[in-house]
């Protein structure tokens, strides 16, 4: 677990580097960052504090949120392949936002969008949960529910000529450029709540790994543990999808990389998954906006490039963590 | 006195009739062995006694009360269960697995139970590296740290060596002396079962 605190302490350093790097050349980066006063006249200050800072902080928060969501998915399904995309949660959140926007109840980038996403995410996840009769079936049902919802969202977007709905196409690919500083409070609140609930649930998530019968035999209800995990990860995914769109692969990869550092125990794993998720998303997003400025490369590509080699390395070099 | 009774229970799984009009009494404070060939429904029977499966017809009673009426926590206070197959899939240590979800008094017994079962030396080892017999003893340890009136074991001797088998028999006898009720599923090939109080042959 010490290793993870060392890694966590790298986050502030990465944050500073991420603030300093960007499409626009900032002349006095460090004095702008370390000045105590925000000078609204200064272009440097504006770029660093109004454009880069929200995005960099969002990367840290969303990375952590998705890392926790991934851990919860794998724990709740007893399956190392699980992630929120496979449970229908991600597609549900996206559908919630699209329905909300189409019915004019919600505008993109507002708190109402988070609520709509949370309702969609919960509905889709619970529907998957209700359909499946076993932990393995959950994955197949989740993929199917996800496919249906993604198709419906695609049809809705294609049929519309409204510009805000059209912009969802871009948003469905996921980008941290979509972040607004007003989103940060929501993300902070969700990150804290999701982490606390998940940590509270962690002994029961460990127990769940022994199988449903073993859980029942000592008087606990495995479906109840699963339900709390699903509701928590729905809120996590909703906050992420409604602010920056769909971000693939991170929620799957972060828990695996974390497991090779701290082992399977969920108390440690959840924290480690959050830290690994933060680091990967921060690195990936900084790369996305600085490799070919002023172009923003799709975040999914850079997450894949950052996380996949780490995942392969962990699986090849580490001790066996699951079978 | 019978602490548990099955009264003409039948159970169908898929198209196979696993239990057919089967009746059974489990005597209190005694060791009952249920023996029979593979596939005769012994494991199904232990799942029924554990409350994991409900028969299609007939009744299962614990202390003269229908098993279905017990809540999960009431059942947990009455019986400990060890299933035959363990699905460990994450690299927890042996001790971590035994301690999962246990209450304070149970946690206090972990060290003692591990040494009785001969798994104290592997307490820190990953459960993914265990042999079948060791894995089974980890599951047995999870049951033994709990203090319940009834213990149900599905094939505790499968893949145990002679030493472990002897140790297990001593543990079961010790439990009986403490006034516990023990039900084990066994194979006739498990050697003599004379140390059991009742042997019930389950024929399909």
Closest residue in A to B140 (Cα–Cα):
A214
**Cis ω for the linkage preceding A182 (within 30 of 0):** no
Closest by Cβ to A218, choosing from B89, B101, B129:
B101
| Mutation site, A205, A207, A217, interface B, largest B CB count within 10 A | A217
Q: Is A240 a residue whose pLDDT tops 90?
A: yes
Q: Which two tokens stand for residue B59?
A: 């009744």
Average pLDDT over residues B136-155: 96
Provide φ and ψ at B91, rounded to 5°: -80, 50
Of the candidate ranges A166-170, A177-181, B50-54, the one whose mean pLDDT is the lowest? A166-170
Q: Which of A90, A72, A236 is nearest to A174 (CA)?
A: A90
Answer yes or no: are the C-beta atoms of A168 and A101 closer than 8 Å: yes
Q: Are A77 and A138 in contact (CB under 8 A)?
A: yes
Domains of chain A: 2-317 (1.10.3470.10)
Is B89 close to A216, i.e. CB distance below 8 A?
no
- State yes or no: pLDDT of A136 exceeds 90: no
Backbone φ and ψ for A26, nearest 5 degrees, come out as -110, 125
Torsion of CA A220, A223, A228, A232, to 10 degrees: 140
Residues A264, B90: C-beta atoms closer than 8 Å: yes
pLDDT of residue A138: 82
Q: Which of A211, A218, A321 sits opposite B87 (nearest CB)?
A: A211
- Between residues A216 and B15, the one the model is more confident about: A216
pLDDT (mean) for A228-236: 96
* Three-state SS at B9: strand
**Chain B residues within 8 A of A321 when measuring between CB atoms:** 90-91
Could you give the CA distance from residue A231 to residue A153 in angstroms, rounded to a whole number?
Answer: 22
Q: Token digits for A62?
A: 């969303």
- Whether A294 has a pLDDT exceeding 90, the answer reads no
> pLDDT, tens digit, for every residue of A121-134?
999 999 998 998 87
Q: Do A265 and B96 touch (CB under 8 A)?
A: yes
Residues in chain A closer than 8 A to B142 (CB atoms):
214
More confident residue, A213 or A166: A213
Q: Do B91 and A220 touch (CB under 8 A)?
A: no
Average pLDDT of A202-224?
95
| ipTM value > 0.85 | yes
Nearest CA in chain B to A263: B91
The torsion of the CA quartet A178, A180, A185, A191, rounded to 10 degrees, works out to 20
Q: For residue A166, what pLDDT is reported?
A: 67
Report pLDDT digits (tens) over A248-269: 899 999 999 999 999 999 999 9
A267 and chain B: CB distance < 8 Å anywhere? no
pLDDT attached to residue B189: 66
| Mean confidence (pLDDT) of chain A | 89
- What does the DSSP 8-state code read for residue B149? S
CA distance B138 to A322: 18
Put simply, the answer to whether B87 touches A207 (Cβ < 8 Å) is: no
Residue A212 touches chain B, beta carbons under 8 Å: no
The proportion of chain B whose per-residue pLDDT surpasses 70, expressed as a percent, equals 98
Q: What's the whole-number mean pLDDT along residues B22-49?
A: 90
pLDDT surpassing 90 at residue A23: no
Q: Write down all domains in chain B, each with its CATH number in brackets.
A: 2-201 (3.40.50.300)
Q: Are B167 and B20 in contact (CB under 8 A)?
A: no
Percent of chain A having pLDDT more than 90? 55
Nearest CA in chain B to A213: B52
Q: What is the pLDDT of residues B84-130, one digit of tens each?
A: 888 899 999 999 999 999 999 999 999 999 999 999 999 999 999 99
- Which segment of A1-15, A195-209, B62-76 scores lowest on mean pLDDT? A1-15
Nearest alpha-carbon partner for A117 in A85, A140, A95: A95
Residue A215: what pLDDT?
95
For the stretch A102-112, pLDDT in tens is 888 888 777 88
Mean pLDDT on A84-94: 94
Which of A207, A221, A323 shows the shortest C-beta gap to B100?
A207
Residues in B lying within 8 Å of A, measured between beta carbons: 50-52, 72-77, 80-81, 83, 86-92, 96-97, 100-102, 126, 128-129, 139, 142, 146
Q: Which CA distances in Å does B112 have to B73, B120, B125, B178?
A: 25, 9, 17, 16
Question: What's the pLDDT score for residue B40?
Answer: 80
SS3 annotation, chain A: CHHHHHHHHHHHHHHHHHHHCCCCCCCCHHHHHHCCCCCCCCHHHHHHHHHHHHHHHHHHHHHHHHHHHHHHHHHHHCCCCCCCCCCCHHHHHHHHHHHHHHCCCCCCCCHHHHHHHHHHHHHHHHHHHHHCCCHHHHHHHHHHHHHHHHHHHHHHHHHCCCHHHHHHHHHHHCCHHHCCCCHHHHHHHHHHHHHHHHHHHHHHHHHHCCCHHHHHHCCCCHHHHHHHHHHHHHHHHHHHHHHHCCCCCHHHHHHHHHHHHHCCCHHHHHHHHHHHHHHHHHHHHHHHHHCCCCCCCCHHHHHHHHHHHHHHHHHHHCCCCEC
Band of pLDDT at residue A170, cut at 50, 70 and 90: low
| Tokens (6 digits) for A205 | 């998530």
Bridging pattern class, strands B65-66 and B16-27: unpaired
Q: Which residues, at least 6 apart from A119, have a Cβ–Cβ distance to it below 8 Å? A: A96
Query: Taking 80 as the threshold, does the pLDDT of residue A36 lie above it?
Result: no
Of B66, B100, B150, the residue nearest A220 (C-alpha): B100
Taking the C-alpha atoms of residue A21 and residue A24, their distance in angstroms, rounded to an integer, is 8
Q: What is the pLDDT of residue B156?
A: 92
d(CA B37, CA B11): 18
The torsion angles phi and psi of B83, rounded to 5 degrees, stand at: -85, 165
Supply the pLDDT for residue A322: 78
- Contact (CB<8Å) A203/B142: no
* Sequence-separated (6 or more) residues with CB below 8 Å from residue B191: B165
What percent of chain B has pLDDT above 90?
Answer: 77
Q: What's the predicted TM-score (pTM) here?
A: 0.93
User: Dihedral (C-alpha) A128, A170, A154, A282: value to the nearest 10 degrees?
Assistant: -20
| Contact yes or no for B99/B124 (Cβ under 8 A) | no
């Amino acid at each position: 677990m010490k290793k993870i605190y060392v890694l966590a302490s790298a986050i502030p350093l990465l944050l500073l580097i991420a603030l300093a790097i960007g499409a626009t050349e900032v002349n006095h980066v460090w004095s702008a960052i370390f000045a105590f006063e925000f000078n609204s006249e200064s272009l440097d200050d504006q770029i660093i504090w109004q454009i880069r800072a929200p995005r960099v902080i969002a990367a840290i928060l969303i990375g952590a949120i998705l890392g926790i969501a991934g851990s919860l998915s794998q724990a709740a399904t007893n399956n190392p392949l699980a992630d929120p995309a496979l449970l229908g949660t991600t597609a549900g959140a996206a559908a919630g936002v699209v329905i909300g926007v189409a019915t004019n109840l919600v505008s993109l980038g507002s708190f109402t969008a988070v609520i709509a996403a949370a309702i969609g995410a919960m509905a889709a996840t619970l529907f998957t949960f209700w359909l499946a009769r076993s932990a393995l079936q959950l994955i197949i049902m989740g993929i199917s529910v996800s496919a249906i919802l993604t198709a419906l969202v695609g049809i809705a977007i294609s049929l519309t000529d409204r510009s805000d709905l059209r912009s969802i196409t871009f948003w469905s690919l996921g980008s941290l450029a979509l972040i607004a500083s007003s989103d940060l409070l929501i993300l902070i609140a969700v990150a804290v709540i999701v982490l606390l609930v998940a940590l509270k649930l962690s002994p029961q998530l460990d127990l769940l790994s022994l199988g449903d019968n073993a859980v029942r035999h000592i008087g606990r209800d495995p479906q109840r543990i699963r339900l709390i995990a699903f509701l928590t990860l729905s809120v996590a995914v909703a906050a992420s999808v409604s602010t920056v769109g769909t971000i693939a692969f991170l929620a799957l990869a972060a828990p695996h990389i974390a497991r090779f550092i701290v082992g399977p125990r969920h108390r440690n794993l959840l924290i480690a998954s959050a830290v690994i998720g933060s680091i990967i998303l921060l690195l990936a997003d900084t790369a996305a906006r600085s490799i070919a400025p002023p172009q923003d490369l799709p975040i999914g590509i850079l997450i894949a490039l950052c996380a996949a080699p780490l995942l392969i390395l962990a699986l090849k070099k580490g001790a066996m963590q699951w079978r | 006195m019978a602490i548990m009774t099955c009264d003409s229970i039948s159970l169908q799984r898929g198209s196979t009739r696993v239990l057919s009009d089967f009746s059974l009494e489990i005597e209190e404070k005694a060791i009952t062995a249920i023996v029979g060939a593979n596939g005769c429904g012994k494991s199904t029977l232990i799942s029924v006694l554990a409350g994991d499966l409900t028969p299609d017809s007939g009744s299962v009673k614990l202390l003269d009360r229908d098993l279905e009426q017990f809540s999960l926590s009431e059942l947990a206070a009455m019986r400990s269960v060890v299933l035959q197959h363990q699905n460990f899939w994450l690299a927890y240590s042996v001790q971590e697995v035994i301690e999962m979800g246990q209450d304070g008094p149970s946690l206090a017994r972990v060290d003692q139970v591990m040494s009785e079962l001969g798994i104290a030396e592997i307490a820190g080892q990953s459960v993914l590296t265990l042999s079948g017999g060791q894995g089974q003893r980890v599951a047995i340890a999870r049951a033994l740290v709990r203090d319940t009136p009834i213990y149900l074991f599905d094939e505790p001797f499968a893949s145990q060596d002679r030493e472990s088998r002897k140790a297990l028999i001593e543990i079961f006898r010790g439990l009986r002396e403490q006034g516990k009720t023990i039900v084990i599923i066994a194979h006739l090939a498990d050697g003599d079962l004379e140390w059991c109080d009742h042997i019930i042959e389950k024929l399909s």
